[in-house]
Amino acid sequence: MKYLDEYRDPVLARSLLAELTATATKPWAIMEVCGGQTHTLVRQGIDELLPAGVRMIHGPGCPVCVTPLAMVDKAVAIASRPEVIFTSYGDMLRVPGTTGDLLGVKARGGDVRVVYTPLDAVRIAERNPDRQVVFFAVGFETTAPANAMAVLRAAALGLPNFTVLVSHVLVPPAITAILDAPDNQVQAFLAAGHVCAVMGFTEYEPLAARYHVPIVVTGFEPLDLLEGILMATRQLEEGRAEVENQYVRAVDRAGNTEAQKAVRRVFRLTDRDWRGIGTIPTSGLTLTEEYAAFDAETRFAVGDLRAREHPDCIAGDVLRGTRLPTSCSAYGTRCTPRNPLGAPMVSAEGTCAAFYHAGRQSTVEES
């Protein structure tokens, strides 16, 4: 299959690993920002095959995982209302809130539906004019254009019964927060290729210059990641700090300008809470004044809802890359994909789920 089989070639993988081993002369810590990249690294065992001293730090790039607990509670509260049809991507249904999840609402008779695009939710609103239809708009810059198009479509159709519960977050402010943290260990980044396919990578260039940190836009297949790690290591060894593009088959510097226009029309910047991390200034999107009527938080008066994380969940440390899932006392016992304590064990892009499904064993000694 084009762009799949050839990017999983074991002969080329061994060649890249050999070149990486010859290149790395010092210890280096590189963070992959994207949860999809994390799953490839862990599932394929790439993180364990790297030369001694080259270490991958798994970052906060899972959109389900960074959705704050309070936002999940807001979703549960809205979805529990009898007049609401609540729509979402499948991963969000099992993310635990304070007192339950969306799947539990559905089990109790709530009308919670999985959709594959926000435009499906718009069509549901068209067909059900007597019901309030809400779409859970989560994700990084990758999903923002489609969610913007859904709002624009609903506005064009004059649908008064369609709203979005917005929890969009942005990658560059998260990188900034990581680099500004006093315990930061990250020396280079692999940027998410799908985010850059939308946004381009001009936003990363000031970060690379300001913090003198290499950033390599990287794809998601094993050879993509190995080449991205090699490119980042070369920069580190040579003392360079540039934005390079490994994912040339899908990304250019400018990105998708039409998608960017749709996002700017519907959304504006806002401070955003990140699960387990806290508030990062101007790190999220919210609806502009022109489209404020489509804001589910306002319509259902859940904006002031607050929540607390489970005391045994180290999601924040995992998302910041300061701890591995296997160092959590609940990992694999009280916290599993079937019974998760936190979002990183639920999502298809969550680091905890990646470690669990790869069979990584806990490093916590039983008392």
pLDDT value at position 102? 95
301: left (phi over 0), alpha (psi -120 to 50) or beta: left
pLDDT value at position 349? 82
What distance in Å separates the CA atoms of residue 335 and residue 331, rounded to the nearest whole number? Answer: 5
Domain boundaries, the chain: 1-304, 315-356
pTM: 0.91
What distance in Å separates the CA atoms of residue 150 and residue 21, rounded to the nearest whole number? Answer: 47
Q: Are strands 28-32 and 188-192 parallel, antiparallel or unpaired?
A: parallel
Question: How does pLDDT run across 169-201, given as a tens digit for each residue?
Answer: 999 999 999 999 998 999 999 999 999 999 999
pLDDT value at position 61? 82
Alpha-carbon distance values, 365 to 67, 97, 223, 362 (Å): 31, 29, 35, 8
The residue ranges of the chain whose pLDDT is under 50 are: 367
Cβ burial, residue 130 (10 Å; 0-12/13-18/19+): exposed
What's the chain's average pLDDT? 93
pLDDT value at position 65? 86
pLDDT value at position 3? 61
The order of strands in the sheet holding 54-58 is 54-58, 28-32, 188-192, 215-218, 243-245
pLDDT value at position 244? 98
pLDDT value at position 6? 82
pLDDT value at position 159? 98
pLDDT value at position 2? 62
Question: How does pLDDT run across 13-65, given as a tens digit for each residue?
Answer: 999 999 999 999 999 999 999 999 999 999 999 999 999 999 999 998 888 88
Task: Specify the CATH number for 1-304; select among 3.40.50.300, 3.40.50.11740, 3.40.640.10, 1.10.274.10.
Answer: 3.40.50.11740
